[in-house]
Each structure stands twice: as structure tokens, then as C-alpha cells.
């Protein structure tokens, strides 16, 4: 396991033992770090290479991947900028570690920026598992507030996406998660959306569904 501090992201890279498995890009939630999701990654995708960056934005002392103005209200200009920054890091990491395109596994804030990656820089991901994600953009069109360069429709044709929502989640309204699913589907992704009888935190049911879904890729 290698911990690397670069001018881009502090991150951990763990080389896998199964070349047939897609590498995982692990994206932590608010307050997590580059080691937060490593045990989950090892559990749900044994043998896969793991690339896990730390979010560069601080909310108090808590790392995040982009700024928010309030609970559930995102700074969309910062989100767009941070999405491209993370996408460039993925491109550089693929060269550095000789990796194919990774599948993102994001939780909460990490799932939200993974969704933004799919919509703004779809070429950098082979797919994504979004755990407790909400729509990263207020508009049904994710490009409403994006720079002109991002106005083209995202090409997600056939790209696999798993969305795991919590029926008892106090943070993410069901309609918000449904709107994200509609947006991804409208852009061509093959979306499997599951709503579990749980809250915002990870559950054993999430682990089982993630493992089964990743095994099929």
C-alpha cells in the first residue's frame, strides 16, 4: 500500500492481485479521508486495485470533495471546478499506476462528486456505485450552471451505475435521489436503483449489494 502526497490529492494506492477486476476509485464522505473506504473496497471487490484520494476542501476540520452552502445546498461553481480537478487526477493516476478506467465507489459527498464526474467527465470512469447520493445539480439538466465547454450531453451509453438509497435517510429526500436516477438514465447510463430500509449510514445490505453488483462487471 502506498500513501502519496502530490500537488493534486493526498491519496492511497493499493495495487490489486486480480488484473481482471476493474480498479475502484474510493470517494469518502464528509469528514472521511483517503483510508476511510479502504476496508469496504477490499471487502466488496477482493483483489481489485484501490485508488483513494482525500477531498481537498475543508469544512471546519472535515475533508470534502467540494463546498456546500448549507445541508443539501451545493456551491455548484465549486463543484464543477472540483469535478474537473478530480477527473484530471484520475487521468494522471491511470498513467502513474498503469490502470484501466476505474469504477467509482462513493459514499455521500463522495457519491455526489462521482455523479458529477459521470455527467461532466464521463470518459474517466468505467461505471459508478453511488451510496446515499443526491442530484449534484439543482436542474434536471446538469449543465444549466456549467461552463460552456460542458454544455454537451454526457455520453453515458451503456455505462453501469448502481444507486443505493436509504428509505429512512434524513438527509436525502427520495425525490432527489429519483431525480439523479432520471438524469443518469436520460444520458444513457444503465442504472440499478435500490432503496434499502436504512438511514444515511452504510449497512450490511449495502455491502452485499455492492459486492454482487461489482462481481457482475
Catalytic residue among 52, 108, 116, 135: 108
pLDDT of res. 150: 44
**Mean of pLDDT values over 92-100:** 96
| pLDDT at position 139 | 62
Structural contact between residues 105 and 27, judged by C-beta atoms closer than 8 angstroms: yes
- 49 in catalytic set: no
Does the structural domain 2-215 have CATH classification 3.40.50.1820? yes
- Phi and psi of 87, rounded to 5°? -60, -40
Q: What is the pLDDT, as a whole number, of residue 6?
A: 46
| Higher-confidence position of 14 and 154 | 14
169 is catalytic: yes
Q: Tell me the pLDDT tens digit for each residue of 106-126.
A: 999 999 999 999 999 999 999
Dihedral angle sign, alpha carbons of residues 66, 87, 23, 93: negative
pLDDT band at 5 (very low <50, low <70, confident <90, very high): very low
Residue-wise pLDDT for 154-210, tens only, equals: 899 999 999 999 999 999 999 999 999 999 999 999 999 999 999 999 999 999 999
Provide the mean pLDDT of the chain: 91
- pTM of the full predicted structure? 0.91
pLDDT digits (tens, 9 = 90+) for 135-154: 998 765 445 444 433 434 78
Strand pairing class (127-131; 103-107): parallel
Q: Where are the domains of the chain?
A: 2-215
* Tens-digit pLDDT profile for residues 44-54: 999 999 999 99
108 is known as an active-site residue: yes
Which residue is catalytic, options 78, 176, 192, 200?
200
Question: Of 36, 52, 165, 169, which residue is the catalytic one?
Answer: 169
Amino acid at each position: 500500500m502506498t500513501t502519496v502526497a502530490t500537488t493534486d490529492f493526498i491519496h492511497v494506492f493499493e495495487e490489486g492481485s486480480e488484473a481482471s477486476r476493474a480498479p475502484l476509485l474510493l470517494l469518502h464522505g464528509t469528514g472521511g479521508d483517503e483510508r476511510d473506504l479502504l476496508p469496504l473496497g477490499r471487502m466488496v471487490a477482493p483483489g481489485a486495485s484501490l485508488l483513494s484520494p482525500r477531498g481537498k476542501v475543508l469544512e471546519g476540520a472535515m475533508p470534502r470533495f467540494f463546498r456546500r452552502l448549507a445541508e443539501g445546498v451545493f456551491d455548484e461553481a465549486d463543484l464543477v471546478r472540483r469535478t474537473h480537478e478530480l477527473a484530471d487526477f484520475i487521468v494522471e493516476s491511470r498513467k502513474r499506476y498503469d490502470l484501466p478506467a476505474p469504477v467509482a465507489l462513493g459514499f455521500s459527498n463522495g457519491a455526489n462528486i462521482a455523479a458529477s464526474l459521470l455527467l461532466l467527465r464521463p470518459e474517466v470512469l468505467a461505471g459508478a456505485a453511488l451510496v446515499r447520493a443526491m442530484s449534484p445539480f439543482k436542474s434536471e439538466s446538469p449543465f444549466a450552471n456549467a461552463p460552456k465547454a460542458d454544455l454537451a450531453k454526457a455520453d453515458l451509453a451503456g455505462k453501469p451505475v448502481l444507486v443505493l438509497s436509504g428509505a429512512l435517510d434524513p438527509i436525502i429526500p427520495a425525490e432527489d435521489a429519483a431525480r439523479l436516477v432520471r438524469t443518469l438514465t436520460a444520458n444513457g447510463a444503465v442504472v440499478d436503483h435500490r432503496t434499502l430500509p436504512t438511514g444515511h449510514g452504510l449497512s450490511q445490505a449495502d455491502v452485499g449489494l455492492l459486492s454482487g453488483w461489482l462481481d457482475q462487471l
